[in-house]
Structure 1
Amino acid sequence: MRIGGRPVAARLRAGAPRLTREVLDRLPAELPAYAALPAEELGGDIAEIVQHTVRLFADVVEGRLAACDADLAPQCASAAQRAEEGVPLDAILTAYQIGVEMCWRETTGQARPEELGDVLVLFADLLGLQRAIVAAVSAAYLEARRSLEGPEQSGRHALFAALLAGESADTVAGRTGVRPAARYLVLTLVLAAHPDEARPGPCAAIAARRKLRRIRQALDGFTGHPALTALDPGGGTALLPVDAAPDWPKVRALIAHAADAADTAITAAAALTEPTGIPDAVDRNTEVIRLIRSSGRGPGLYLLTDVLLDYQLSRPSAALAGLAGLLTPLDRRPELLLTLETYLTHGRDRRATAATLHLHPNTVDYRIRRVTGLTGLSPNRVEDLHRLNAALVARRTLGAGTPGG
């Protein structure tokens, strides 16, 4: 099919990037719901759907075949995401109408009188695609809304609440109608804010919902079963049903993948337990997270085994005050405390410590010698190293302050 002396399909494919930019310029200008979306979303997910739809129209014109369900799967997935974000259905359908209108103008703007037959065929193809898009997108949007508000979601909430209460499997099954898994991977998550969450207006709420949706998608994909979650923009708890002990490196990779997908830092603690052990696992995870954050460690996945010394020393004990007292001579030298903790965090690597603190390596050496002179303990002596680590943990536990704080 040729209009204006050029093949229509080729013209659409060649012009797809420009048409996408033009559509993206119009959407926020004409639709308040799209003006409220984060720039990342407009330039990412929405742009991909616009370009896919333009190329799909080219395929329909070239092949003279109606779009099938597989062709419209990206549009359906996008509609479900917009439903979760609270974008109104009428705004979504209007956005597609804007795209259809611009494709029509692009392909017929230079039509010649003798090409009227092809113009009419093109019009029929465009109406057919628009009809298919409206039907598929509307169905996907409404199904997503039903799943967010329907009895299945309510059942999952009831199951989650019963598991957090520590009810037995039989009690949970009898009350919710769902038998819990034999084991659960219990995740406690702390989520950093996405930059778009700092923007004024509704954009912040949309960015937060998008962040949580991407994290849930990553968690659901880990076991192939929906995760039970209670998450807000700052974090929360997720229960992943598993048949056996997980491969912990894969769980670490899961957290890294979720962080990349949501474009935010995630600090997580994990534990494996049977259903009745979930409340205790959540409590332990919460304590692990507290210890991780108080020690200044970065994002990622942590297990109880990663903080065994900190965990044990954080329990009430008469020895805590004595351990914390080992560093009392440094109370008036916060720069020495900071250097000591950074030095131990970096495995006693003087150059890494210097780079972190923006010091010369010789300054690090000098400060470590001063620590030894004031406390009598040297981090470079094996017999003193564990005592210094324990003393730092004890100080944090007793609220003696954090180095450099």
Structure 2
Amino acid sequence: MTSDERVAPPLRVAGRPVAQWLSASATDLTARVIARLVDDLPIYRSLPREEVYGEIADVVHRNIELFATLVFERRAARDSELAEQRNSAARRAEEGLPLDAVLHAYHVGIGMASEELFAGARPDDMADVQVVTVMILDFLRRLTIAVSAAYLEERQIMESQENSGRRSLMSALVAGEDLDAVVHRTGLRLAPHYLALSLAIGENDDERGFGVSATVAGRRKLRRLQAELDRITGEPALTVIDSGGGTALVPCPSSPPDWEQLREVVGRLADTVGADLYVAGAVATPSEVPDAVAQTAEIVALVERSERPPGLYRLADVLLEYQLSRPSPARAELAKLLAPLAGKPELMQTLEAYVAGGLSRRHTAAALAVHANTVDYRMRRVFELTGLNPADPADLPRIGAALVARRSLG
């Protein structure tokens, strides 16, 4: 502090020294600020009374006293003088109080003090009013930076710990490890059931965009996906997912979600990420999770290979294909039924389209952009080479089974 600042007359507004008035009014102002906070924000009414009228009131009082000191000494706040405000913000973060509610308290306190301080200002006070206003803005800026940084740092630490715990729980559930030890170590609770989801995610327009970072676009896609998964039951989903897909375990604290509603949810998920989304799901108890994850991963791979439309699938939707894709001597023999078509991709493609199109030559021709007579010719060639007639209902089960077996063998 310079000698000029020490001898400067006290800042005055409405005929009263600002620093002295602030100190004298601190207790009364604090009570009114707390009353205003409780009226303005319901979340403050939900906090323990001793916290609101104790610790939070103490911080409000401290701010008023500190600003009185700053005005008296005509200087800015030092970092060391904001230590208690930073500690308080970290505690509010730990309690889950939103950051906007924390900052609202500081703005209300400074705003109410300013209103009363300047209420009786006279024209000849303008010079001092301008000085005090600049100091108020600087004090609020420093407070906002200190409080926000402390709050966000604490949240980052907490989220890192929570995410680490969730990853450990996810790994233990999928691997079938001892869950009691993981629960004890992480403090997380096991849900009675989990909705096991395997996902295959296509690229969206952002990822394909020219000049756009595919990595950044993929992360944005995953953030949106995670948020939607968390909303399914209102519980944070355990996930191991990259931009192409992965696994999610959605805790079901009560009854498992309705499948028709889940189909709608998956539709919204696809809209949210802006990409094709194949999802296979199964509900499992914690001990059943490993088998459920393995099964849903197979179902997703199966429906992708079979060129089914994107959406939600479960075992009941693909019973025949799933069973025929199981390793067995019969699977290899079924695939051999179509071996004569090897090296003739136009015949295999037409057969796939013909069966998928409900044996309609017109639909098949439209899907392949060929003439209907071409479809007829190719189906005759399939019959000649394999002995299986796609137009004969008696041969259709074997043709369908052979197609599934061939796809499962790659």
Structures share fold, TM-score greater than 0.5: yes
Aligned to 1:157: 167
**In the aligned structure 1, how far is the partner of 2:177 from the partner of 2:146?**
42
Report the Cα distance in structure 1 between the residues aligned to 2:150 and 2:391, rounded to whole angstroms.
63
Alpha-carbon distance between aligned partners in 1 of 2:314 and 2:391, rounded to the nearest angstrom: 27
Tell me if 1:209 matches 2:219.
yes
Deviation at 1:213, TM superposition (A): 0.7
- Give 1:93-104 correspondences, 5 Å limit: none
TM normalised by structure 2 equals: 0.60
Q: 1:203 to 1:388 in 2, by over 3 A?
A: same
Change in 2 beyond 3 A, CA 1:207/1:375: same
Corresponding residue to 2:198 among 176, 184, 188:
188
SS at match of 2:318: helix
- Runs (4 or more) in structure 1 with deviation over 4 Å come to 134-141, 198-202
Partner of 2:236: 226
Matched, 1:295 2:306: yes
Tell me the number of residue pairs that the alignment of Structure 1 and Structure 2 aligns: 278
Q: Judging changes above 3 Å, is the alpha-carbon distance between structure 1 residues 372 and 173 closer, same or farther for their aligned structure 2 residues?
A: same
How many Å apart are 1:250 and its aligned residue? 1.7
The 3-state SS of whatever aligns with 2:241 is strand
> Do the aligned partners of 2:205 and 2:274 also contact (CA within 8 Å) in 1?
no
- The secondary structure found in structure 2 opposite 1:175 is helix
Q: What is the root-mean-square deviation in Å for CA atoms of aligned residues?
A: 3.4
- C-alpha distance in 2, partners of 1:212/1:396? 30
User: 1:76-112: CA deviations, max 9, x gaps?
Assistant: xxxxxxxxxxxxxxxxxxxxxxxxxxxxxxxxxxxxx
> Deviation of residue 190 (structure 1)?
1.5
Q: TM-score, normalised by structure 1?
A: 0.60
Name the counterpart of 1:265: 276
The question of whether the paired residues in 2 share the 8 Å contact of 1:168 and 1:275 is answered with no
1:389 aligned partner: 400
- Partner Cα separation in structure 2 for residue 212 and residue 191 of structure 1: 10
Q: 1:382: Cα distance to partner?
A: 2.8
Structure 1 segment 51-200 matched on structure 2, within 5 A: 138=148, 142=152, 146=156, 149-167=159-177, 169-198=179-208
Q: Unaligned 5+ residue runs, structure 2?
A: 1-39, 43-129
Distance across 2 between alignment mates of 1:150 and 1:337: 51
Contact in 2 for aligned 1:163/1:172 (Cα 8 Å)? no
SS in structure 1 of the partner of residue 358 of structure 2? coil
Between the aligned partners of 2:147 and 2:269, the Cα distance in structure 1 is: 27
Q: Name the CA distance, whole Å, in 1 between partners of 2:158 and 2:365.
A: 51
Larger radius of gyration, structure 1 or 2?
A: 2
Amino acid at match of 2:216: I
Report deviation, 1:145: 5.8
Cα deviations by residue, 1:165-184 (Å, 9 ceiling, x for unpaired): 21355444333322210110
Cα distance in 2 for partners of 1:275, 1:172 equals 13
- Could you say which residue in structure 1 is the equivalent of 2:80? none
CA deviation vs aligned residue, 1:236-287 (integer Å, no higher than 9, x gap)? 1110112334321222222221111111221121111111111121111222
Deviations 1:374-393 (A, max 9, x none): 33323333321111011112
Q: What letter is aligned with 2:222?
A: L
Gaps of 5+ in 1: 1-67, 71-119, 400-405
Select which of 375, 380, 386 maps to 1:364.
375
The verdict on how the C-alpha distance between 1:139 and 1:264 changes in structure 2, with shifts beyond 3 A counting, is farther
Match of 1:311 among 322, 325, 332: 322
Residue 153 of structure 1 and its aligned partner are, at CA, apart by 2.4
Aligned partner of 1:377 among 388, 397, 407: 388
Which of residues 345, 348, 352 is equivalent to 1:337?
Answer: 348
Cα pair 1:197 1:204 within 8 Å, conserved: yes
